[in-house]
């Protein structure tokens, strides 16, 4: 009887991942609820602690209380660790602890790791996790060193080092949390080349995915990149360049954003406004003062997000890229979807379509619910907030701090679903199909 009960409640790897993130979120919320976590020594309402913990663990960046002025260094450090755990996945840290303690990595551990890392196979998973951790800490250290050249002269040695480490981790994990206070993000550094380009580079590196960087690192021996890496690099480059050009054009004469900036500041801000929505949440210009076209472009970039197996969210660049390729194939009258002289399986196209439709459905549903709970807010603000939460971006037009209790719960759940949902959906759809010898008759229907 006991054996049957245990078998009945045995968790699948996907369920372990979802439960693991939930546990980390609640532990973080409890720690942030302590009086020591705030500068004033007062207890923060638990709903705000839960919201911020969810945002940090899901590497989103939406906040209901100002990170720089509300939390003490204890609270800020808790947030920083939540960002790191959320960005890399708690299984990476569990593996690190197991390796340090000399414990054996079991087959079930490897299965969960495979789910978490979006790996194609079980082979070399422990080696991959070691690479991910070493790569992550090395890049974050390099980013912190570059940022320290600007922050130490401004804030002093100790505070400058802490700020450099925090923002390097936040940028690499595509979290978007900042410590500058008053919800200003990095707007005061809009023309600082080192700060803007360092944070942009960290966002891009974290958003490309560890699988892609592993291939780039081993390019000398492999002599070629996989189709996955080629599509990721191609679509990412296109989105950054096209997004920056469009942002430059749309916001160039906007008095609320770039009009009074120097040409250098406009170029840096345009690049940053193209990079950050996928899916970091930092901003160097006022998001609430952007043109309607600029806001809509930001929503599109947020929804697409970064690469699979990375610290970024969204439907992923490969998903968007495959859908565009599928449309091009239909227009050209081709039966197969092709890229770089490779044929893409149709079930992969179906998965991309399913992920996109479900993502759109979730964003639309959340927007509709928010229109009820947040009466008075415009559709633009609601759609922006819902997309930012789903894609774990963290940008806002100013609605987050005004959310009702119900609104905070809805956005927190959306952030969690955005961090867990697409991954879970991908893994669920990737499971081996049950074989069936039954095929029904085919019949055409009219479309379009």
- β 342-344/337-339 pair status: antiparallel
Tens-digit pLDDT profile for residues 185-205: 999 999 999 999 999 999 999
Q: What are phi and psi of 126, to 5 degrees?
A: -65, -40
The pLDDT, as a whole number, for residue 220 is 62
- The radius of gyration of the chain from alpha carbons, rounded to an integer in Å, stands at 22
Query: pTM score, two decimals?
Result: 0.86
| Spatial distance between the Cα atoms of 191 and 198, rounded to a whole number of angstroms | 13
| Spatial distance between the Cα atoms of 251 and 243, rounded to a whole number of angstroms | 12
The pLDDT, as a whole number, for residue 312 is 78
Q: Phi/psi zone of residue 439: left (φ > 0), alpha (ψ -120 to 50 degrees), beta?
A: beta
Peptide bond preceding 139: is omega within 30 degrees of 0, i.e. cis? no
Tens-digit pLDDT profile for residues 408-437: 999 999 998 888 765 554 454 454 445 556
Report residues of the chain scoring pLDDT below 50: 1-9, 90-91, 101, 107, 115-117, 120-122, 425-426, 428-429, 431-433
| Spatial distance between the Cα atoms of 194 and 264, rounded to a whole number of angstroms | 13
Say if CB 287 and CB 62 are below 8 A apart: no
| Spatial distance between the Cα atoms of 103 and 303, rounded to a whole number of angstroms | 40
Sequence-separated (6 or more) residues with CB below 8 Å from residue 131: 210, 214
């Amino acid at each position: 009887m006991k054996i049957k009960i245990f078998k009945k409640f045995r968790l699948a790897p996907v369920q372990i991942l979802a439960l693991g993130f939930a546990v980390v979120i609640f532990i973080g919320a409890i720690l942030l609820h302590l009086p020591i976590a705030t500068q004033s020594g007062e207890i923060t309402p638990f709903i705000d602690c839960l919201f911020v913990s969810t945002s940090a663990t899901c590497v989103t960046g939406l906040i209901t209380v100002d990170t720089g002025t509300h939390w003490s260094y204890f609270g800020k450090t808790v947030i920083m660790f939540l960002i790191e755990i959320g960005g890399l996945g708690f299984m990476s840290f569990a593996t690190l602890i197991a390796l340090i303690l000399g414990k054996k990595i079991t087959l079930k551990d490897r299965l969960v790791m495979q789910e978490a890392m979006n790996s194609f196979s079980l082979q070399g998973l422990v080696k991959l996790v070691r690479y991910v951790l070493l790569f992550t800490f090395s890049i974050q250290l390099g980013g912190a060193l570059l940022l320290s050249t600007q922050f130490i002269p401004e804030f002093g040695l100790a505070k400058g080092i802490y700020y450099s480490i925090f923002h390097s981790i936040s940028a690499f994990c595509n979290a978007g949390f900042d410590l500058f206070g008053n919800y200003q993000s990095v707007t005061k550094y809009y023309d600082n080349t080192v700060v803007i380009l360092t944070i942009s580079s960290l966002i891009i590196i974290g958003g490309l995915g560890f699988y892609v960087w592993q291939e780039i690192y081993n390019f000398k021996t492999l002599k070629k990149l996989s189709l996955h890496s080629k599509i990721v690099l191609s679509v990412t480059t296109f989105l950054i360049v096209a997004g920056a050009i469009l942002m430059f054009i749309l916001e160039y004469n906007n008095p609320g954003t770039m009009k009074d900036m120097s040409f250098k500041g406009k170029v840096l801000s345009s690049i940053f406004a193209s990079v950050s929505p996928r899916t970091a949440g930092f901003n160097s210009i006022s998001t609430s003062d952007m043109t309607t076209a600029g806001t809509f472009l930001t929503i599109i970039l947020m929804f697409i997000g970064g690469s699979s197996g990375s610290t970024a969210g969204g439907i992923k660049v490969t998903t968007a890229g495959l859908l565009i390729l599928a449309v091009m194939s239909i227009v050209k009258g081709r039966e197969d979807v092709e890229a770089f002289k490779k044929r893409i399986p149709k079930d992969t196209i179906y998965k991309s379509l399913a992920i996109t439709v479900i993502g759109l459905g979730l964003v639309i549903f959340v927007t509709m619910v928010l229109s009820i709970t947040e009466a008075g807010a415009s559709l633009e603000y609601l759609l922006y907030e819902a997309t930012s939460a789903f894609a774990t971006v963290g940008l806002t037009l100013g609605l987050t701090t005004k959310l009702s209790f119900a609104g905070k719960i809805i956005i927190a759940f959306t952030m969690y679903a955005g961090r867990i949902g697409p991954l879970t959906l991908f893994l669920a759809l990737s499971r081996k199909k049950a074989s069936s010898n039954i095929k029904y008759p085919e019949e055409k229907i009219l479309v379009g």
